[in-house]
Structure 1
């Protein structure tokens, strides 16, 4: 299989019948370099002919030679940059250096190469992979700063098309093709070359650039630069899939790095079995050793995973803030969806995060509510024993418990206000005693020093003071019992409450526990009776 190319550029028109096109000769030189590059076009230099400003006969002979004597599997490329002209019958001609017009403005047909003639040479050829690229124009009106090639309405498909070939034109027959004065190359040729040199024309990433892919790339770029231009392709059977170039490899390590980046998903994992197979193929093609390839993959994987974790963390913080403030995600569903897209996270990624945060917030709220209930229970017991006016010591202990439970001052004040209001509606403290149970669950607090319990003899204290002291002792040890031991259900009694109310503890599974360092001291006041409703429990 051979690759043969004829590149014709006509910039000069001595008859002055046509406008000079300086970029045409530069076009063929630039294209020739790309076609002969071993990592891009792969055409042998001896098989690429550049024809600058030829006369009509020289030009037609070169076209005939190009297509003659070829084999079926050969690839033949004809590129023309110059004026395209139509006669009064609508036939297309490629202008040569000799092309001129009569004094009446009619084309002298013998001075140009007819498209019909080119078509005949293509038909006579045994080669069935033929490409014709016409960077020509058919127009007479151009904006400032742009020069034109010519005007016409041409049926290019009918005059040059056929099986096994692809005809590319820089514009459709009724559109404009421009050469910008500030550019070395014509617009269409410039983007054809860019697509090959950068590899960006390889739309499917297989390392091969077909003539269809190259045209699609150039068409997109041309219309971004010059919206009035509409490059066209006229493929015959299988013409669209003709391979014209391959993606330049350049530095093998850089190429493999690019391929790994494309094969890896946003989580930092190889996207699929096929993606892994493609990477293995690139390893062989680039001749890289396994250790080098694995190091490249590990580096990209680490960066991609770190990026993914950061995106997850950002989304997690957003979800947590919404749930803490609004209570549910539906209030910002549309904005969340947009944020997901901006972070390039999938629904699977975000659903898992949302479920985790919703569970976390729910458990946090439940735990906080239990702490509110614990505080309310202990404050209620303090009121029951001391009345509405608590002692300074009890107030201090309640403040410590508030902080341990993580309650705000506002929450503590609200609870205290509610309990006091409840107390005020009772006729006397006995109503609380007959109420029976107080629910409480308190996490572990630091053990109070023995001095916190007054062990002085009652005989040394006046009767009124002894009553208050006994009440204070019962309350202090009661709070310490909840805080330090955290065991099952505790109840206590004093002279002021001969029928001791049971104080059941809530579920203590999530609370820190520790057993007393020593058995309960024998000198605890007789007023206090402590009993666990969970027999034979060992706390560790």
Structure 2
């Protein structure tokens, strides 16, 4: 028996003919894939057996694919990787594009999936892995014939036999090129699964095709739930082909542990108890605090990206609803296309947002009518009260009609005074300061006002955070802040605005937020919450000692995000820089309450 070998052909196409957009990721996808496959501690492919093609023409692409499959023996493992545009025809047949491919001549200038399928059927290699990171890649399954496999004694080295195709999308979906990353989304998590060992589900030091697919699919859908990576096999074999070794070290062990203590829906650690457990294990494994926190952040990163996309959708949908409601069919279609093709969000996720925004808009429309009905009911109640008092006076002290008519203006004046007293119940005797709360009685904000009058900005900032948390009865986050009582929020804002001379307050911050086009980093720099020149960027957000609690602070510097983040001890957030979702929700609430 000849010695087995692993051979790989890696193709990345970024340049195309007329009608097809250029892509930035494929060349870098190929380079990254070569690095992990060619690493002797990971993929174990010999560099001599890895062929890289970047922007090949059609002939070069077909010849090299043919060589990969025809020059292999049955104990070999062959791997074909493609990153670029995928195109399907009206019969759902898939074509892999070359640099010659144009929109109207894709059949004659692309490699049809059937060409690869036929080579796969005829090759001697019993272990075949095809990875397609392209649009409509799930259509590869069309026309792929099953082929029987004879077992050979190589399972210990290469895993079980079979043919398997990993695809980044279904037969009807586009794939995603990320705007803020070098690699395409699917390839990023294929690489990560091998490189950091995260795909090794059973911690046996080996990543099988099944394990890599499971990991990449989970991570991709955490970012873009609407994207559906798939795995295609012939004869139900190929799942357990050994694709790579992994390093089982302190980092990989800790990363596996982190998965047990995080909430993938909310993008956060379950609780402070979970954080303490993870901190202990990090110390036992010898990981520095910064290193362990970086691992946690990388595990949470896909979910946090998805939450950002959800917030983007909410903001866009709210803006459209404010302009015209109900939305036209054209707008709804455009929003759906944007949701699926750009944000990659599932219909269920956006349906919840749509219901919340629509309900709020309908309540806003209904409010004037409700207010009118309330005023009518109150007037009717007052009229009945006057009539009842008239009847009571007649019974208790019979008087002449003339005498009673003299008392009638007095009764009406008494009722008017009572109504005025009810209307002014929330105002204080100290001028224009409203110190009341929707949920607490008395001068609830009196201490905050006194601290602001004394220009004790730091204490006032602390008092603001305490009162906001007390009003809601819990630690604030982006969901809770959307329910924050408008009365309390506006009263706090007015006090800050008044006693800072218009320098500090939520209204000031909202104006700056809008002027920064809701760019979190730009806003943080403008209000002096971060140092734009700091490296790495994750450490650019200032800690409490760097804040300016004096009149020298720049406009909008106060109040801080203390209500969401406790300096020195964060349960949910690692730094002020991670408060973007919470701050965006606060600004949205300020805008809604100010209408």
TM-score by length of 2: 0.39
Work out which of the two has the higher radius of gyration on C-alpha atoms and give 1 or 2: 1
> What is the TM-score of this pair, normalised by structure 1?
0.43
